[in-house]
Amino acid sequence: MKNNILITSAGRRVELVHAFMHASTLSKVQAKVYCTDISPELSPACQVSDGAFKVPRVSDEGYVDVLLKICEENNIGLVVPTIDTELAILSKIRRSFFDKGIEVVVSDEELVASCRDKRKTADLFDSLEIDQPAILDRENLSFPCFCKPYDGSCSIGAIPIFSAADLTKDIIENPRNMFMELVPKSFSEYTIDAYYTKDGFLKCLVPRKRLEVRAGEVSKGVTRKNFVYDYLLSKVQRLKGARGCVTFQFFVNEDAKSVKGLEINPRFGGGYPLAHDSGATFTDWLIKEYLEKEEIYFNDNWESDLLMLRYDAKVLIREN
């Protein structure tokens, strides 16, 4: 039986690696946790794992072959992707890896495509009956509004447009840009960590209010079991094609109890460690579901109002 775990594009996700390593010690399979990265010698997560492997960029033609070879040579039974750009590729090869006894925890191609293209995400929110900022016609914009690439991530290229004077030719003619209603600053940002089983059924939902963000990743946040939880619970019980951790992003007006959907990312978010430490141990459940073949039951026994304050830490490696 293949029972080791591989976290791809591990980068700085030390807390995620540690969570899987701890979950392994509590499991029946006693898995080792490996990582990949284009520069594993410079990846903190790779350095704290049980072993790390250098891989080409996800966009390179030989990436999948290299990944498969690593899996076969190191008894990998569970592959956990962590970045947006690899999801589409891995969703296409998931079945071929499964046929070799390797489970890749990635959502179906159609869902990944809907999450990657923010125009399709808008349709997905509509199908879930979740409110969202209004999408605007670029030929008939109203101000203020918000501009972002339909396939962007980490807020790159996302900017507010306060008047027609702020529009440049590059902005308006860029076919990747989409325009939407500008949500006022009275709204807070929430990220919701959701766990879905192989058949797309929800087993846990943890809203996290983002108090401070650095470089697109939450640095201060707090769990909230409030009206956001109640609003979403019935709407996202079933998400066709979803597997593992899926993160929803919302704007929330806490006074008016208004919720507007922004993004869906079918992977672990950077702030997942807060949900984990609140009791939503997705890493443990992935091992149970995929490696131990156990059923996962609905769990709402996580701690609300748990505050996370992140700080920079270091990993030291002596080159000799």
Q: What string of pLDDT tens digits covers the 320 residues of the chain?
A: 789 999 999 999 999 999 999 999 999 888 999 999 999 999 999 999 999 999 999 999 999 999 999 999 999 999 999 999 999 999 999 999 999 999 999 999 999 999 999 889 999 999 999 999 999 998 889 999 999 888 876 667 789 999 999 998 889 889 889 899 999 989 999 999 999 999 999 999 999 999 999 877 899 999 999 999 999 999 999 999 999 999 999 999 999 999 999 999 999 999 999 999 999 999 999 999 999 999 999 999 999 999 999 999 999 999 87
Q: What is the DSSP string of 24-69?
A: HHHSSS---EEEEESSGGG-HHHHHSSEEEE---TTSTTHHHHHHH
Identify the pLDDT of residue 155. 67
Cα atoms in the 13 Å half-sphere on the side-chain side of 181: 14
Shared domain for 246 and 203, answered yes or no, is: yes
Same-domain status, 228 and 300: yes
CATH of the domain at 60: 3.40.50.20
Pair (95, 156) in one structural domain: no
Residue 19 has what pLDDT? 98
**Which tokens in the block code for residue 293?**
């073949």
Burial label for 254, CB within 10 Å (0-12, 13-18, 19+), is middle
- Are 285 and 218 in the same domain? yes
Q: Which pair of structure tokens corresponds to residue 273?
A: 């460690």
In the sheet that holds 244-253, the strands lie side by side as 258-265, 244-253, 188-196, 202-214, 217-223, 307-309
Which pTM value belongs to this model?
0.93
Distance of alpha carbon 236 from the chain centroid: 16
Instruction: Let me know whether 199 and 90 are in one domain.
Output: no
Please check whether residues 195 and 305 belong to one and the same domain: yes
Same-domain pairing of 70 and 123: no
Range of the domain at 48: 4-106
Do 234 and 301 lie in one domain? The reply is yes
Q: 106 near 246, Cβ under 8 Å? A: no
Residue 41 lies in a domain: yes
**Residues in contact with 219: Cβ distance below 8 Å, sequence separation at least 6, in sequence order:** 212, 213, 309, 310
Supply the pLDDT for residue 154.
64
Q: Provide the number of structural domains found in the chain.
A: 3
155 and 260: one domain? Answer: no
* 290 and 163 in a common domain: no
